Amino acid sequence: MSLPACGIDWRVTHVDGHVRLVEVIHVHDRWEARFPGLAAELQSDEYRRRIVAFAEKAKEPVTGVEKECDEDDYDRELYPKFWEEYDGLLARHSGP
C-alpha cells in the first residue's frame, strides 16, 4: 500500500524583519493547485513562533515512542542524528 503524495509548498523571503510567503502550491498525488497572487507577510518573530509551534505539534505523535530500526545500518545511524538536529533547532528558535 502506498500513500498519496500531498502537501502545501510556498516560497519564503526574509526582508527587514518581515517574512513574505508567496508562490503557494497545493500538491496532491494526481493534481496540483497554484495560487498566483496569494501572499502573506508577517513579522519575523511571529513567523518563528508559528513554525516552532508547528514543529512542537508535529513531534507529539512520536514523543516517547521507541523507533524500531530494521537491519539497515543507514537508518539506525541517521534516525538519532535527525532528532538531535530537530531538537537542537527547536531549542535554538524557541526563545522569546
Cα angle for residues 51, 53, 57 (degrees, 5° grid): 115
Query: CA-based Rg of the chain, rounded to a whole angstrom?
Result: 17
Q: Is 87 left (phi over 0), alpha (psi -120 to 50) or beta?
A: alpha
Closest CA to 4 of 33, 22, 30, 24: 30
Answer whether residue 57 shows pLDDT above 90. Answer: yes
pLDDT at res. 49: 95
Match 516552532 to its residue by C-alpha cell: 52
Answer whether residue 6 shows pLDDT above 90. Answer: no
pLDDT at res. 86: 95
Q: Is the pTM of this model over 0.85?
A: no
Tell me the pLDDT band of 17, cut-offs 50, 70 and 90. Answer: very high
